[in-house]
Amino acid sequence: MIALGYLLALAAGGLIVALARLQLTRMPGGDAGVGHAWAMLGGHAALLAILLALTAVVAIAGRLPATPVAGSWRALPALLFVLVSGAAAASAAAAAPTSAVAPWSPAAATRLLPLLVPLLLTVAAGLLLRGPTPGPWPTRLLGLVALQAAAFALVLALPSVGRWVDGRRAAARRDPSALDAFQRQALADADSLDPATQLARLLALTRDGNHPTIRQRALARIRTLPEWETRVADVLAGPDADAAFVFLASHDVSDPAPYARAAAAGVRAEAARVRARIRNASHPSHLYAGLMVFEVDAILGTLTRLSGAGVDHAPALRELRAAFDEPAPWPHPRYRAVDAIDRWLRTRR
């Protein structure tokens, strides 16, 4: 077992030398550069595997320093320590520049610094393999490895922390009422659409998820239409019923009765749309679990608001549920919209 440990230590040393040469070599262009990158990645992965095997050999030989864990799990802290330290060193090596440097220059020393971690681990393992009383040096080397690995992890984390801090500062400076480009276009639509001919598009802009300014401006535009509530009920009973459901799911109306009667026709129009989408699906990805889930949520929200108007919408909803079983060339997933319809129907039996 001790001989195997020494062989693994020699293999680790040879791999460290090979990785040092790669670390100091300029990365070539083209396919050769891809090969260079894969060689670095594979080399560090192989080195980490050798170090873990070497640690296991030291543990089996009974040469590990004292650890907080006793019994058969005694090697676990050492293996975790080597895994984390080696991964931090490999990440630091991967983040190093890829230009060529002279072997004895200060830049080379910086470039080779990540390889000091596996080197110190290998030396510490070799000292532990020498005998049961190797002296204080292995523990000191392992402490140095821990400090260096922590430093690498800190340096690698600093850019991410900096980006997070910058993002928080930018968010704090940002005007919460400001609109992005998409919202500005939606606001322009709310101000310019003709409610007489484009009522469905205006109704769609009033959904809950939209910016309050967009919703308010769209609603104000809708209310400029004479008898606008009657017109909304007409949309609800027609092919653009989904837009009316979006509106009614988040807005109260003075008289729900006309909408309750039109909603049944709207649900059946949506059922026809579901069947058409399933029949016209030309790829398995077109049938996905979230199909029509937002539209169905708007329908159920609307029917909940209209539930006191004396109209039974359960038959129309069952037709909508059955529409999801429309024959298709591919297997149907478990549609979340169907689950939502089933839950709604169960609570209103």
Distance spanning both ends of the chain, measured CA to CA: 73
pLDDT band at 316 (very low <50, low <70, confident <90, very high): very high
With bands split at pLDDT 50, 70 and 90, how would you rate the model's confidence at 274?
very high
The pLDDT score that the predictor gives to residue 139 is 62
Residue 259, both tokens: 């909408």
166 and 231 assigned to the same domain: no
Residues 67 and 135 in one domain: yes
Q: Do the domain assignments include residue 191?
A: no
For the stretch 57-95, pLDDT in tens is 887 777 666 555 555 556 667 777 777 777 777 776 766
- Both 251 and 341 in one domain: the answer is yes
Q: Is residue 39 part of a domain?
A: yes
132 shares a domain with 51:
yes
Q: Between 98 and 299, where is the model more confident?
A: 299
143 and 53 within one domain: yes
**Which tokens in the block code for residue 315?**
């038959």
Per-residue pLDDT, 98: 57
Could you say which of 141, 156, 173 is where a domain stops? 173
Percentages (nearest 5) of helix, strand, coil residues in the chain? 70, 0, 30
For the record, the structure tokens of 296 come out as: 């169905």
Task: Please indicate, yes or no, if residue 274 is contained in any of the structural domains.
Answer: yes
Domain residue limits at 164: 2-173
Strand intervals (E) in the chain: none
Domain count, the chain: 2
pLDDT: which is higher, 163 or 303: 303
Q: What angle do CA 96, 102, 108 make, to 5 degrees?
A: 35
Q: Do residue 167 and residue 68 come from a single domain? A: yes
pLDDT of 13? 84
In a domain, 250, yes or no: yes
The region of weakest confidence among 49-63, 93-107, 332-346 is 93-107
pLDDT at 156 over 60: no
Ranges 69-73, 117-121, 253-257, 295-299: which has the least confidence: 69-73
